[in-house]
Structure 1
Amino acid sequence: MNKIGFSGTLDPITNGHMWVIGEARTIAKEVVVFLSENSTKQPKFSAEERRDIVLASCAERGWDNVQVQIVKSDYTARVARKHGIDYLIRGIRTTADFDYENLIQQTNVEVIGGAKTLFVMPPRDLGSVSSSFVKALEGPVGWNWTMKKFVPAPAYRAWILDWLHKEWQALWRDANPAALAAADTWFERLTGAGAYGGTERHYHNLDHLVHGLSEIRAWSANTRPAPGDADIVRAAFWFHDADYSHGAGDGVSNEEASARLWLESGLARDAAMADQVAQLIRATDHFQGNAIEHRLKGIMLGVDLAILGQDEEVYEHYARGIRAEYAHVPEERYTSQRGQVLAHLRGKAEQSQLYVDGWFADQYNDQAIANMTRELATLA
């Protein structure tokens, strides 16, 4: 077979969709993905954005025989026939899927004279994966780590950038006009290659941003902080690891460089907010003891250290990310220094001093001790 088609809204494309496309490639020399633009649906991404995500996802796997065709105001099966395609391929996960797809197949062939359909059944681990399933994951703490398992990397990146952009816009909802005009420029800068979006950022990256902001959401919803405090913590978290190039003997720490970057942005609503956020960023240096104080320091450090108390799988991902971020450090030196850091942090956790704020202590302290103990054993 020369060509076969695959259709869907693909908002977002999932690993289940990718599996079907992979099966299609074993059947035909060329696969055409027909991307539906359905006026009754309200997708997160435009048809053009979804096309780019599909192509990037296929390119990532080295699939150079897949093209994408956007379908507007027409039947996919009829458009496929116009492109010389006699068969569409669809995945069947359940009997409900079969009943639905069989009805569509009959309509395609008998009513509109379109392409016929071939059905394939995905492996067990992809049997429940759908766009609706993935969308339902968004929101709670850790949602991004879970979503990452079910979508290709380009789809995941596009999804979290969209989520981050909404979080960013909400933070500046009451900002002055000049700050609003500059806000999107700063969003691009913070999520770009020079900051959290950099390829060398294996932990202090976009995942770190999403996780931290989700933690702030949960803390705020459950503790009802004073007006304005949640926004101060959010702004500080956005900037606290933005500059990660210092600490090499130039006398300026990453925390100080990031605080200066915040002040440079001019995004603060007033001078008081500017000073509060800058001081809170400076307080995130975990090894400066009590040198820098802030009334929200316990919250900020709780958000930043919440990763230590995640489930084992997420923690292991974090530990690998930290090692990759310090790939330039020789193994023996890394093992020694990482061990010192973990021993210091575990000791604080065992004394109930790691999470100063009760909300984070209740959520994460015990699991953090278990995680760090396990990693320390691997470094011994």
Structure 2
Amino acid sequence: MKKIGFSGTLDPITNGHMWVIGEARSLADEVLVFLSENPAKKPKFSAEERKSIIALSCAEQGWDNVQVVIVKGDYTARAAKKHGAECLIRGIRTTADFDYENLIQQTNVDVLQGAKTIFVMPPRDLGSVSSSFVKALEGPIGWNWIMKKFVPGPAYHAWVLSWLRKEWETLWDYAHADAPSIAHADQWFVRLTGSTAYGGPARHYHNLDHLVHGLCEIRVWAANTQPDPRDVDIIKQAFWFHDAEYGAVHGDVSNEEASVQLWLGSSLCHDMGDAAELIRATDHFQEAAVEHRLKDIMLSVDLAILGQDEEVYQNYARGIRQEYIHLTEAKYREQRGGALAHLRRKAEQGRLFGNAYFADQYNERAIENMTRELAQLAG
């Protein structure tokens, strides 16, 4: 077969969709992915954005025979035939899927004189993966770690950036800000999420995932404890910047102080001092050098990753190792082991999470996770 088509909204494309495209590649020389612009569906990403995400996802797999076509004002089955694809391929997950797709296929052929349909059944681990399933994951703490399992890297990156954009716009009240203020904030969003900060290629843990997780922790903590909204904003401001400078050489200046200077230089608001002092308090190995009324919250948010489920923690541990890939294995085991031993002692003494809400949520599991990693480092 020379050409085969695959159609869908693909908002976002999932690993299930990628599997179907892979099957299509085994059947034809060229795969055409048809994206229909359907305003009634109100997709999260525009057709052009989805086209880019799909192209990047296929390129990531080394698939050079997949082309993405945006269909405007036509049925995809008819458009497929016009582009030389006699067949469309569709994934069937359930009997309900088959009944629906069979009706669509009859309409495509008998009414529209369009392309016929070939049905394939995905493997069991992809049987429940759909765009609507992935969308429903967004929100609770850890949603990003779960979503990552079900979508290709470019789709995940685009989704996380979109989520962070909404958080950023809310923090700086875009709805009521003037155009120059919005433009200025936009520049800083791009800088913080780009390759010189959290989006950097060497950021294997202190990255966009870290931002999403921490901001979710702050939101859920605020919802459960009802703090002063102004304090919530200060914590968010500090969290956005606290690891913006990480792992670089700043002379005698610490990462925390370099991040403070970046924050102060941003001029994003009139009162910068409160968040600046809070960033300075994020050094986990200083005990009392920097005091701040919100320090316990900030440090608890930053350390909450230690109390996640085992799979998330293991991914975190691997990310930390990659960030310190320049260290020999022996040196890494020594330094990482020392840091973990320090943090575990604090947890055992009930001092790791200075805020009771986070201590109740995470202290016990943090001890379990760190104990397990320490045993692995010693093994």
Say whether the fold is shared (TM-score over 0.5): yes
C-alpha contact (below 8 Å) 2:206/2:243 kept by paired residues: yes
| Whole-angstrom CA distance in 1 between matches of 2:235 and 2:358 | 14
Residue of structure 1 in register with 2:276 after alignment? 278
C-alpha contact (below 8 Å) 1:13/1:151 kept by paired residues: yes
Residue of structure 1 in register with 2:315 after alignment? 317
Residue of structure 1 in register with 2:211 after alignment? 209
SS in 1 for 2:229: coil
Q: Pick from 284, 287, 290: which aligns with 2:288?
A: 290
SS in 2 for 1:40: helix
Shift of 1:329: 0.9
Residue of structure 2 in register with 1:197 after alignment? 199
Residue of structure 2 in register with 1:254 after alignment? 255
Shift of 1:322: 0.2
Residue of structure 1 in register with 2:95 after alignment? 95
| Whole-angstrom CA distance in 2 between matches of 1:181 and 1:154 | 26
AA partner of residue 171 (structure 2): L
Q: Does the C-alpha gap of structure 1 residues 282 and 364 become closer, same or farther in structure 2, counting only changes over 3 Å?
A: same
Residue of structure 1 in register with 2:225 after alignment? 223
Shift of 1:249: 7.5
C-alpha contact (below 8 Å) 2:250/2:258 kept by paired residues: no
| Whole-angstrom CA distance in 1 between matches of 2:55 and 2:177 | 39
Shift of 1:245: 4.0
| Whole-angstrom CA distance in 2 between matches of 1:167 and 1:50 | 22
SS in 1 for 2:197: coil
Residue of structure 2 in register with 1:308 after alignment? 306
SS in 2 for 1:199: coil
Q: Quote the sequence identity (%).
A: 72
Alignment gaps of 5+ in structure 2? none
C-alpha contact (below 8 Å) 2:221/2:357 kept by paired residues: yes
| Whole-angstrom CA distance in 2 between matches of 1:249 and 1:72 | 52
C-alpha contact (below 8 Å) 1:197/1:206 kept by paired residues: yes
Alignment gaps of 5+ in structure 1? none
| Whole-angstrom CA distance in 1 between matches of 2:207 and 2:268 | 21
AA partner of residue 182 (structure 1): H
Q: What is the root-mean-square deviation of aligned Cα atoms in Å?
A: 1.1
SS in 2 for 1:292: coil
Q: Does the C-alpha gap of structure 1 residues 249 and 176 become closer, same or farther in structure 2, counting only changes over 3 Å?
A: closer
Residue of structure 2 in register with 1:8 after alignment? 8
Shift of 1:180: 3.0
1:60-209 to structure 2, matched below 5 A, reads 60-173=60-173, 177=178, 178-209=180-211
Residue of structure 2 in register with 1:377 after alignment? 375
Number of equivalenced pairs:
376
Structure 1 residues 1-35: Cα deviation after superposition (integer angstroms, max 9, x where no partner): 00000000000000000000000000001000001
C-alpha contact (below 8 Å) 1:77/1:88 kept by paired residues: yes
| Whole-angstrom CA distance in 2 between matches of 1:159 and 1:180 | 21
C-alpha contact (below 8 Å) 2:300/2:355 kept by paired residues: yes
| Whole-angstrom CA distance in 2 between matches of 1:14 and 1:265 | 37
